[in-house]
């Protein structure tokens, strides 16, 4: 796939770290990678954004592109309006991704929050950008109680729009999973109607970059270029 859209079921669930892991695995395989962040919110001028964090973790061979930056940590449409700045619509996102795809083997489009967060005053969303690109969507989800409902809603939204779901990755797998987390590993692919494609350990983003790159393949399934096995993982956690 030339373009892969990475969306979450919410905020602060490990979406950027998962994006970095996918980028690191692709780079290790010799593929050229670009990461596109349509709208970075909650970050001021000169501060590191999500695309910069992907480069830090995955390596300098990743091309970072940020279309807009808004200072307040809000939904992109709201943040743009409050800042008196022009929003970024799905068409701009799709155009930027196509240009990057012309020069890169893989373009990762990392959204802000969930699939249907508004990007502009017309109600444009990451789903609309994915539709314009005919790109599959990788859903990043938490492991804990409540995730099944969020993944189900996201999957229904994707199907309603005729969008392909590449699969689900758990964005932050706890060191000591409880009953809900262990059961969710079995239930997530069922409610998503798509395969479970990985589980990134909690705290992975704090690892030294060299260690992160070495371990990334073990967190992602072969469909994402890694070696992680869902069946073996499920059996190991009981």
Angular region, 185: left φ>0, alpha ψ -120 to 50, beta rest: alpha
Mean pLDDT of the chain: 96
- In tens, the pLDDT along 37-86 reads 999 999 988 899 999 999 999 998 899 999 999 999 999 999 999 999 99
Looking at residue 152, its pLDDT comes to 98
Looking at residue 1, its pLDDT comes to 62
Dihedral angle over CA of 125, 128, 132, 138, nearest 10: 80
Lowest mean pLDDT, pick from 1-5, 86-90, 221-225: 1-5
* DSSP structure class, residue 45: T
Looking at residue 137, its pLDDT comes to 98
Looking at residue 105, its pLDDT comes to 97
Looking at residue 97, its pLDDT comes to 98
- In tens, the pLDDT along 136-170 reads 999 999 999 999 999 999 999 999 999 999 999 99
Listed residue (195, 231, 236, 201) closest to 215, CA to CA: 201
Q: Report all structural domains of the chain as residue ranges with CATH numbers, in order of start.
A: 3-36+49-65+87-237 (3.40.50.300)
Listed residue (206, 205, 190, 186) closest to 143, CA to CA: 186
User: Which among 37, 69, 104, 118 is annotated as catalytic?
Assistant: 37
- In tens, the pLDDT along 8-39 reads 999 999 999 999 999 999 999 999 999 999 99
Looking at residue 136, its pLDDT comes to 98
Looking at residue 238, its pLDDT comes to 81
The model's pTM is 0.96
For the sheet with 196-201, list strands across it: 62-70, 33-41, 106-114, 3-8, 137-141, 165-173, 196-201
Listed residue (102, 104, 124, 100) closest to 112, CA to CA: 124
Q: Angle CA(89)–CA(135)–CA(105) in degrees, nearest 5?
A: 105
Listed residue (63, 64, 58) closest to 29, CA to CA: 58
Active site residue 15: no
Q: Angle CA(58)–CA(176)–CA(206) in degrees, nearest 5?
A: 25
Q: Angle CA(128)–CA(220)–CA(59) in degrees, nearest 5?
A: 80
């Amino acid at each position: 796939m030339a373009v892969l859209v990475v969306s979450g079921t919410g905020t602060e669930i490990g979406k950027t770290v998962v994006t970095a892991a996918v980028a690191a695995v692709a780079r290790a395989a010799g593929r050229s990678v670009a990461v596109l962040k349509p709208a970075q919110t909650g970050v001021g001028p000169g501060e590191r954004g999500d695309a910069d964090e992907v480069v830090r973790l995955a390596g300098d061979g990743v091309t970072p592109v940020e279309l807009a930056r808004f200072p307040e940590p809000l939904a992109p449409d709201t943040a743009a309006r409050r800042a008196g700045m022009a929003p970024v619509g799905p068409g701009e996102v799709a155009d930027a991704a196509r240009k990057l795809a012309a020069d890169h083997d893989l373009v990762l489009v990392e959204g802000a929050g969930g699939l249907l967060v508004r990007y502009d005053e017309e109600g444009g969303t990451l789903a609309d950008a994915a539709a314009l690109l005919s790109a599959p969507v990788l859903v990043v989800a938490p492991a804990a109680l409540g995730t099944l409902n969020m993944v189900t809603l996201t999957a229904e939204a994707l199907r309603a729009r005729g969008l392909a779901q590449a699969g689900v990755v758990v964005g932050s797998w706890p060191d000591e999973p409880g009953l809900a987390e262990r059961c969710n590993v079995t239930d997530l692919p069922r409610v998503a109607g798509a395969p479970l494609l990985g589980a990134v350990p909690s705290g992975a983003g704090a690892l030294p970059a060299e260690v992160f790159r070495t371990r990334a393949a073990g967190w992602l399934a072969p469909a994402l270029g890694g070696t992680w096995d869902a069946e073996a993982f499920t059996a190991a956690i009981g």
